[in-house]
Amino acid sequence: MFKLLEKIFGWCYPLFRKWGINDAVASYTSLFINILLLCFLAYGIYVIFRLVLVTLLAVVAKKTKTNFDDLLISNKTAKYISHLIPLLFIYKSVPIILNNFVYWEAVFGKLVGIYIVLLVLWIIRTILNSVRDHLKHIPKYSDKPIDSYIQVIMIFLWMIGISVIISEMFEINTNTLFATFGAVSAIIILIFRDTILGFVASVQVSLNDMVRIGDWITFDKFGADGDVIEINLATVKVRNFDNTTTTIPTYSMISDSFRNWRGMLNSDGRRIKRHILIKAKSIHFVEEPELRQLQKIHLIQNYIENRQKEINIFNESNSIDKSILVNGKNLTNFGLFRKYITQYLENYPSLNTEMILLCRQLQPTAQGIPLEVYAFTKDKRFENYEYIMSDIFDHIIATVPYFNLEIFELPSEGFDFVE
């Protein structure tokens, strides 16, 4: 190839000298002509190879089932490769054209060499981006932090590329250059501290499967509450439910605590854990007239009958003096209310009865006695979950007066202060 290039660009100068033209004039004239010829040939090679590569890749993309070649087209890989071929042609031609101009030969040779290195890195980047986009369409890899891996690979390639560029510019041996980098590694670590921490964090996040793209996470420290849309070397992007975007440093995913709701979404139900406060003074033993009234409530009708029979048998067999209610066994309005809520929850169609379902009394507080509902909804979607929970507590709050109980709330102006 070198001999062919000598024939292409070596005809001008001997011809001008043969015509008796001055040596300096012949040199500059032949240089000008050769530069024009080089530009023309390089552009022609670029057009031909771009047409061939783009057309060939388009034909292959139509005939194959995979979308990887389509992604190569969308990332313009063939276009950049078509830039590389004429550039290599220029790189080989520069020493011949500038044979009589040693200084400019060195300058342009280095510039073209640097451009080739950058172009090669850019081509590799387009291929890696195509690989990334292809893997994201595969369900097995769609939730993996592929961006982080691509960025790590590109960092190493850029380090190699920059080393090659520096050695090309200053004519330094590559081994000597890497030895120098080793000597200043402490400074490099200081400069790239965040990148190194991000790399370590992204590897740990991936290996431990701490977070995936599409996960719903809550990170109070950064005010994040939404779905993960991107994981890369430096940051994790979260689209919050108010459509804002929060950017979290990747390293914070392993150094701080956050909540990942994936387990809940993959489970058989979403938990309801909410309570109301019952005034302690409204809790009392149920006497016969009130018991007859409560027995009309369908969900606890059988329970009251059976439970009252057991209580009567116990009290009679132990000769309990029932002139005072505190003696023996008795039903309370609060206990019946808890039983009613339990029965109501078990009959509620949107709750998963195969998971924990209960109504429990918590530690009494200064505001009253908390009565908590602990259950799981079948539907885990946010809007449906909120509707189910609200519907349950609407019913519970409306039911409280039927058991002669009262809900605690702070007094407000108006009727709360009327005696």
Tell me how far apart the alpha carbons of residues 28 and 238 are, in angstroms, rounded to a whole number. 62
Note the pLDDT of residue 40.
76
Residue percentage of the chain with pLDDT more than 90: 27
Tell me how far apart the alpha carbons of residues 247 and 229 are, in angstroms, rounded to a whole number. 10
Note the pLDDT of residue 123.
85
Model confidence at 74: pLDDT above 80: no
Note the pLDDT of residue 245.
92
Residue 236 three-state SS: strand
Residue percentage of the chain with pLDDT more than 70: 79
Cβ proximity of 230 and 247 under 8 Å: no
Model confidence at 394: pLDDT above 80: yes
Closest to 262 (Cα-Cα) out of 202, 208, 223 = 208
Specify whether the backbone of 309 is left (phi greater than 0), alpha (psi in -120 to 50) or beta.
alpha
Residue 409 three-state SS: coil
Contacts of 172 (CB under 8 A, 6+ apart): 166
Using one digit for the tens of pLDDT, what is the confidence trace for 155-213? 778 877 777 777 777 766 666 666 666 656 666 666 667 667 777 777 777 767 788 88
The full length of the chain comes to: 419
CA 203 to chain CA centroid, Å, is: 14
Tell me how far apart the alpha carbons of residues 40 and 12 are, in angstroms, rounded to a whole number. 16
Question: If pLDDT is split at 50, 70 and 90, which confidence band does 320 have?
Answer: confident
Note the pLDDT of residue 2.
45
Cβ proximity of 322 and 328 under 8 Å: yes
- The DSSP element (H or E) to which 249 belongs, if any, is strand 245-249
Among the ranges 50-59, 76-85, 314-323, 360-369, which has the highest mean pLDDT value?
360-369
Least confident of 20-34, 37-51, 94-108, 126-140: 20-34
Using one digit for the tens of pLDDT, what is the confidence trace for 18-47? 555 545 555 556 666 667 777 777 778 778
Tokens representing 72 are 């190569």
Model confidence at 1: pLDDT above 60: no
Closest to 263 (Cα-Cα) out of 223, 224, 209 = 209
Segment 67-92 shows an average pLDDT of: 78
Segment 376-401 shows an average pLDDT of: 93
Q: How high does pLDDT run on average in the chain?
A: 80
Cβ proximity of 295 and 304 under 8 Å: yes
Tell me how far apart the alpha carbons of residues 251 and 253 are, in angstroms, rounded to a whole number. 5
Tell me how far apart the alpha carbons of residues 218 and 201 are, in angstroms, rounded to a whole number. 18
**Residue ranges in 318-352 assigned as alpha helix (H):** 333-346
82 CB neighbour count, 10 Å cutoff? 21
Model confidence at 246: pLDDT above 50: yes
Among the ranges 96-110, 112-126, 263-277, 389-403, which has the highest mean pLDDT value?
389-403
Question: If pLDDT is split at 50, 70 and 90, which confidence band does 117 have?
Answer: confident
Segment 373-392 shows an average pLDDT of: 92
Tell me how far apart the alpha carbons of residues 96 and 3 are, in angstroms, rounded to a whole number. 10
Hey, what's the torsion of the CAs at 45, 48, 53, 58, to 10 degrees?
160
Tell me how far apart the alpha carbons of residues 322 and 106 are, in angstroms, rounded to a whole number. 114
Model confidence at 90: pLDDT above 70: yes
Tell me how far apart the alpha carbons of residues 67 and 48 are, in angstroms, rounded to a whole number. 26
Least confident of 67-71, 155-159, 215-219: 67-71
Give 170: exposed, middle or buried? Use CB within 10 Å, 0-12, 13-18, 19+.
exposed
Tell me how far apart the alpha carbons of residues 323 and 315 are, in angstroms, rounded to a whole number. 12
pTM, entire model: 0.54
Model confidence at 12: pLDDT above 60: no
